[in-house]
Amino acid sequence: MRYIRFLKPPRIIQDDQSPTKCSLTCLITITSDLGDSFLTEDASIDAETQYEGGNWSNFKRFNWTNGMRTLPIKLPQTYLYTGNVTLRVGLNEFHSPAKCETDKFEILFDKKSHGIVSAYSAPLDPDRERKEAERLIERRFELSGQRVISVWEETGESIARHVWDAGVALSYHIDQVLANPEYESPIANALNPGPGTEGLRILELGTGCGIVGITLATLLPHASVILTDLPEASDIVTRNLSQAQPAKSTTLRFQTLDWDDEELSALTDPIKPSEPAGPSEHSTPIKGPTFDVLVVADCTYNPDSSPALVRTMQRIAKISPEVTIIVAMKKRHPSEDVFFDLMAESGFRLAEGDGVQIELPCDEGCANEVVHVYVYRHRSYKGYAVAAATAKQGARMRDEGGAQRKKKRRIG
């Protein structure tokens, strides 16, 4: 996918000649999530301003051509802005011609689109001397049923403070699964545990800006969703949580959790009163919060941090032996495969087959990119014992049936 980023945030520049005239400028680029490659196709990029209250104005089209690294945007104004104004820079070709309040997931993931994610600026307000926008970008994704999630990210290079392809792709997939009960997906069982089940208790590791956890909380009623990451993600994710609109009776919060910490002390504040973990291979039941679903998106990119990540998953499986782990990864390098070895060595098994592949829409420069979604369970998961017992019983019945038939044949 490609993300429009503000290299220089939008600024209102007043005309020297006329105090009532001004223009709005910024410098953009269009890159991959890592920022290591640029859009390689020509594209019409539209810029437009939106006033507080919803009115759009000053539409102008700009041309991005293959080989470009930056594109200056300038919207000439005939009068000075008053009140809050936001700049949107995005692709309109496959959305409505202009005035795009959001990026529709459905359209963003359509192969025909370039997978270009629009950028919405922080508000400017010349009246209050806010003539330069904060160094932030808002991503607005429209889920099915016209629900919208807003995710702010920073314009800088920090890994934790912008959204990543696997997070966007998994959020899109979750939306599809929850919107269509018939939709076949390896994550469907985990997210639709069936009637009579209490609200899901969900934990996300390495949430970054929070896109996946916020999507889950927006779509799942009666759930408890805890997003976790290093302290450096705290400011941006807190901003995003303050704008989130969780579904009915769903709670959503952030806690710091470093995979390198030996203890899950960050999670000692449980979402439900402490309760003993269910039966497991571990001799002493451990007290603490338990989780039904653990979500991890785009956290396996660094093989050096995989051991700590997997150890954290192990600790969580110890307090929640029934947990289903959903891992979304966009493989960028073969060395990332160490994650699978570590998972197997740590007692995790791939459940629900080999997962699912989500194709990322893109240009020639990033062709054939996919996000894999895998589902894991720990070997202490009760369902395995039940499945094994059923299989054993089935085999015994088959053996017995065979013996009976042989006996009958002999008697006959």
Ligand X SMILES: C[S@@+](CC[C@H](N)C(=O)[O-])C[C@H]1O[C@@H](n2cnc3c(N)ncnc32)[C@H](O)[C@@H]1O
Binding site for ligand X (CB under 6 A): 159-160, 163-164, 166-167, 206-208, 211-212, 229-230, 233, 257-260, 297-299, 301, 305, 308
Nearer Cβ to ligand X, position 22 or 211?
211
CA distance 110 to 131: 37
Nearer Cβ to ligand X, position 123 or 167?
167
CB of 221 to ligand X, least distance (A): 23
CB of 203 to ligand X, least distance (A): 12
CB of 53 to ligand X, least distance (A): 31
The two beta strands, 324-329 and 293-297, are parallel
**169-366-73 Cα angle (round to 5):** 90
What's the full length of the chain, in residues? 412
CB of 300 to ligand X, least distance (A): 9
DSSP 19-79: TT-EEEEEEEEEE-TTSSSB--S-EEEEEEEEETTS-EEEEEEEEE-TT-S-EEEEEE-SS
| Tokens encoding 1 | 């996918």
In the complex, residue closest to ligand X by CB? 167
Nearer Cβ to ligand X, position 117 or 124?
117
CB of 31 to ligand X, least distance (A): 15
What DSSP state is assigned to residue 289?
-
CB of 133 to ligand X, least distance (A): 22
163 closest CA partner among 132, 206, 108: 206
Nearer Cβ to ligand X, position 280 or 300?
300
SS3 of 332, please? coil
CB of 258 to ligand X, least distance (A): 4
191-196: long-range contacts (C-beta < 8 A, 24 or more apart)?
191/216, 191/220, 191/293, 193/292
SS3 of 245, please? coil
Nearer Cβ to ligand X, position 33 or 46?
33
The two beta strands, 43-51 and 56-64, are antiparallel
76 closest CA partner among 4, 128, 15: 15
CB of 394 to ligand X, least distance (A): 41
Nearer Cβ to ligand X, position 208 or 246?
208
User: Quick check: 203 and 295 in contact, CB under 8 A?
Assistant: yes
Nearer Cβ to ligand X, position 64 or 259?
259
CB of 157 to ligand X, least distance (A): 12
Nearer Cβ to ligand X, position 49 or 207?
207
CA distance 42 to 36: 18
User: Quick check: 370 and 357 in contact, CB under 8 A?
Assistant: yes
Nearer Cβ to ligand X, position 85 or 227?
227
